[in-house]
Amino acid sequence: MVSAVALVLMALCGTEEGRVEHIWLFGIAALLLAIVIGDAVLRRNGLRS
């Protein structure tokens, strides 16, 4: 969770001119959040030990 926030902050506070870096940083942050949320749901439902 902290890593995803750090990636978003890096995208917002960066000095790069192109948008490719922003797309990658936001995409990786979204993927990390999806993994964390998916794991929490699976653990709550007892589908994962």
Q: Report whether pLDDT(34) > 90.
A: yes
Q: Report whether pLDDT(49) > 80.
A: no
Q: How does residue 48 score in pLDDT terms, banded at 50, 70 and 90? A: low
Q: How much is the average pLDDT of 22-44?
A: 93
Q: Report whether pLDDT(33) > 80.
A: yes
Enumerate the domain spans of the chain.
Answer: 2-11+19-44
pLDDT value, residue 29: 96
Predicted structure pTM score? 0.80
DSSP string of the chain, one letter each residue? -HHHHHHHHHHHH---SSSHHHHHHHHHHHHHHHHHHHHHHHHHTTS--
pLDDT value, residue 47: 81
How far is residue 13 from each of residues 3, 9, 22, 23, measured CA to CA in Å? 15, 6, 10, 14
